[in-house]
Amino acid sequence: MATATATSRSILARPTAETGWTSWFTTVDHKKIGIMYAITAFVFFLIGGLEAILVRLQLSEPNATVLTAEQYNQLFTMHGLTMVFLVVMPMGAAFFNYLIPLQIGARDVAFPRLNAFSYWVFLFGGLFLYSSFFLGGAPNGGWFAYAPLSTSMPGNNMAFYSVGLQILGLSSLAASVNFITTILNMRAPGMTFMRMPMFIWMSLIVNFLLLFAMPVIAVALFQLTFDGVFGTSFFNPAAGADPLLWQHLFWIFGHPEVYILILPAMGIVSEILPVFSRKPLFGYAAVAFAGAAIGFIGWGVWAHHMFAAGLGPVARAAFGLSTMFIAVPTGIKIFNWVFTMWGGKLRFTTPMLFAIGFVAMFTIGGLSGVTHSVVPHDAQQTDTYYVVAHFHYVLFGGALFGLMAGTYYWWPKVTGRMLSEKLGKVHFWIWFIGFNLTFGPMHFAGLLGQPRRTYQYGPELGDTVTIWNRIATFGALVIALSVLVFTWNVIKTQRGPKDAPDDPWDARTLEWLTSNPPAHYNFEEIPVVTHRDEFWYRKYAEDAEGRAVPRQAGGSTTEVQGQPPAGGDTGDPDHGDGHEHIHMPNPSYWPLVMTFGLPIAGYAVIYRSLVLAAIGGLLMFFGFYAWIIEPVAEDDAH
Amino acid sequence: MRSDRLARRWWLGLTMALAALALAACGDEPQSAMDPQGPFAQKPDDLWQIVFVIAIVVFVIVQGLIVFTVFKFRERPDDTSLPVQTHGNTRLEIMWTVIPALILAGIAVPTVRTIFELDAEPDGAMTVQVIGHRWWWEYRYPGAGPDGQDIVTANEMVIPVGQPVRLEMTAQEAGGPDNAVIHSFWIPKLAGKQDVVPGRITTLNIQADSEGRYLGQCAEYCGLSHANMRARVDALSDDQFQRWLADQAEPAAEPEGELARQGKELFFREGSSCVGCHALNAGDLSSGAQVGPNLTHLMSRQEFAGAIFELNEDNLTAWLENPSSMKPMRPDFGVGMPDLFDESDPEARREIQALVAYLLSLL
């Protein structure tokens, strides 16, 4: 078999290294890719946060001159684009990547190279978008880029928007295909849908939403690109087009997009609350089906972003009703989470604090959302700071709190170290207070007449508005302080020893069966699943009163403990004694090579350069072709 | 259990007090959406009052539950047993599905009714056309003059008190939809906002039930000076309104004083940039351009440049010297006032003086 000689080794040979810093460029390991997503998303979070601080400094006084109008317009646009596309979505992807195979008992995702490709496209797409700052100016049309404004602004700013987002969309679309296939096809034996962890349910729903929503924005972005760069008239009213077409297309994507942003955090919180309440998720089936209902109904509410846009009364009434309707499954989940805690034995670790904070803050955002559905009053609320308050309560109070909870919770599994509980609590409280100081006042400022997306406001709005703005700016600085605390926690922790136990939290799901961090192949033997919360079931049985009691001699944390699963063989007939016979997908260069072509092609469109188009196109084609035909690595050929 | 209910009542009291305080504190700021001054703002506010109270009650219940749970069920250090592994409670789950649905259905009925009520053209409504430009508002009163003339003004809309006004709105640049973008007309004390869209007509009903000046501004991001596109509505008594219409229908009076007369000459000079953009009906001379605001009765207004500067000699002079330094604009791109003078040139400064004198005479 292994007759590989020196002559058959070439630079195009498939890489095999799983360690060393260069291995990160060729890795297809879902865990490494998850880590890369998380680090990159965190860096963008710091940048997006800086943009927010600058915005808030400009708004701390009426008629301030900290920023010019053009600078402000670029900063608020990039803040929104960064937080949505370069922070919350990729953080979700980080968790999907790291956890999905582990929680379903698989060794990797269905398409490992496509997985790597998704990450590199995200990184390069983000860099492409940010290169605009150095190439004439960043996008300045708002994250929602309403036409015809977005197609009639001077410069290339909005071309970077339409091309940059197009590139980023490819990342999410590819990932969605990957994760859906993985969840549907690669669950461990015995893991039926109703035994999947709730995080997997939410991931499945989110990835279906991505699968159907990304093509819509892709079409819209193509039209925007052609209008902006090549002078077509998709959205040009002078040529007879209807500007509202952009709004419809954008929001048909945009509304499912907000569920894409929140559902991963809901999944994370649905994992954490049971662990630190020491009892199962209350009403598992209802939470799963409510999530699916939200995903489904979410397609029917998009025009609630357009209540002032000029739709007729019938359309507004219909979308008002559907928006009210979607509050029901959302409320169900809130109650299910609260009652997960009810009757439990609550441990207030840092992940638990963030998870409880999620429930409380998301409730506030959900309530202000319900007030939006009262269409005639939404005509007062929309496009004011009241809406800014609403979506920050659900996106920060919801998604970011949830993602932070997950970060603290899974940190030991990923790194082998526990983040400091003391610093974590300091982080939580400063973050919580800063967040409410920043966004609470915006409810009032909006209802007192302060519109959104304004680089300055006048003193004629009244002293109260100025005071709320000053408090909000102060709150933003408090949030920044809390992020510093978190960063310090990370640095301090990572310098310390890898002494976290494999199951530090006494958790419920399969990833805690593995070592810290899990081996490359995840599980020595693919676990056989007989129950929901399989790992918990292996540790505890329920007595006659329904209380959990430990099985045998307490919950040990190695893979080969407690009750051996019935008939627990894996599928691999070649399985031997050692893990070196577990076949894992090989690393590959080609996803990265192919990705290089994308931003080059992007610049080609913006600068209308055939040369760049040729280079980008060739890189993509060559990368793609090599990807398709590359064999497994020599060492693994058998 | 009684202690739990007491705990919750205490929270309820506190929160209602806070809500009342918040609402009271947010009363009558000049652009407040919580201070309706006419029926088309009152109706949305009526709905808001209901929904806000329901939201506060739900807030108190849910947050109260969370706080209660966090205290009651915290792990005690001496207790290492595990809790009952409750998986769900069907009755509870049905309740918290059905009850919110019923509450929402309750809100839905008046909501839908109000949507249609607000949309209908009111009886006896006066029509005013609103045209959103980058970055100022144009108002046209078709046939409203004593002899059926069209009245055209900018940024400050004048309406009679107590009468419904039907706004027919669109967005334009220089008279057409080309290069125009979406804006939104919003005077919170009189009505919710309504977008104005190039190539389309949208409508909004407003009515002011008291005399006075109502503040508002553009509420749809429209680029560089979106923040500087303020709108005002002045509600006058019926007599005053008729007088206003009559005054507006007149051409501009002949200016008094040499400087102002020079200014008029400069304004209407062959090849002047002024008449290229600004309409001004001076009787013997007139310009019909539609790029910038109609200046015929400029001084009947209080503010200019999108209602962000007071109309006085200093501001007008600074504006003519260098408009882009006062308000961010892109005249090179066809939006906003270009920089027409080299203010370091004494001749140019003299011309500006004359023009300002003329503008100040346009009562």
In-domain check, residue A280: yes
Q: How far is B232 from chain A (nearest CA, A)?
A: 12
Q: CB B198 to CB A308 under 8 A?
A: no
Q: Please, are residues B213 and B234 in contact by the beta-carbon 8 Å criterion?
A: yes
In-domain check, residue A198: yes
Q: How far is A221 from chain B (nearest CA, A)?
A: 18
In-domain check, residue A538: no
What CATH code is carried by the domain that includes residue A260?
Answer: 1.20.210.10
Cα–Cα distance, B323 to B331 (Å, whole number): 10
Check whether residue A50 and residue A171 sit in a common domain. Answer: yes
State the pairing for strand pair B165-171/B183-185. unpaired
A41 token code pair: 């998303």
Single out the catalytic residue among A107, A333, A443, A532: A333
Domain of A615? 596-638
- Which among A504, A536, A561 is the end of a domain? A504
Residue of B nearest to A360 (CA): B63
Specify the residue for token string 């209407």. B268
pLDDT tens, position by position, A380-439: 999 999 999 999 999 999 999 999 999 999 999 999 999 999 999 999 999 999 999 999
In-domain check, residue A151: yes
Between residues B7 and B152, the one the model is more confident about: B152
Residue of B nearest to A532 (CA): B87
In-domain check, residue A549: no
ipTM above 0.85, yes or no: yes
Q: If DSSP states are collapsed to H, E and C, what string results for B10-36?
A: HHHHHHHHHHHHHHHHCCCCCCCCCCC
Average pLDDT value for residue range A481-504: 97
The full set of domains in chain B, from first to last, is: 2-72+89-119 (no CATH), 126-249 (2.60.40.420), 258-360 (2.60.40.420)
- Which among A504, A539, A572 is the end of a domain? A504
Chain A residues with CB-CB distance to B58 below 8 A = 367
- Residue among B45, B86, B227 minimizing CB distance to A456: B227
In-domain check, residue A583: no
* Of residues A521, A297, A370, the one with CA closest to residue B107: A370
Q: CB B55 to CB A343 under 8 A?
A: no
Grade residue A37 by pLDDT with cuts at 50, 70 and 90.
very high
Residue of B nearest to A371 (CA): B51
Chain B residues with CB-CB distance to A312 below 8 A = 119
Residue B9: pLDDT over 70: no
Number of domains in chain A: 2
pLDDT value at residue A570 = 41
**Is A171 labeled as catalytic in the residue annotation?**
yes
- Which among A504, A539, A559 is the end of a domain? A504
- Residue among B47, B58, B217 minimizing CB distance to A376: B47
pLDDT tens, position by position, A564-620: 443 333 444 444 445 567 889 999 999 999 999 999 999 999 999 999 999 999 999
Q: How far is B146 from chain A (nearest CA, A)?
A: 33
Single out the catalytic residue among A37, A143, A337, A537: A143
* Of residues A334, A548, A575, A494, the one with CA closest to residue B96: A334
pLDDT tens, position by position, A340-359: 999 999 999 999 999 999 99
Single out the catalytic residue among A187, A305, A316, A417: A305
Specify the residue for token string 């329904």. A546
- Residue among A73, A243, A383 minimizing CB distance to B224: A73
Question: Which residues pair with residue B233 across a beta bridge?
Answer: B157, B214
Chain B residues with CB-CB distance to A356 below 8 A = 66, 70
Cα–Cα distance, A411 to B180 (Å, whole number): 52
Residue B147: pLDDT over 80: yes
Q: Please, are residues B193 and B186 in contact by the beta-carbon 8 Å criterion?
A: yes
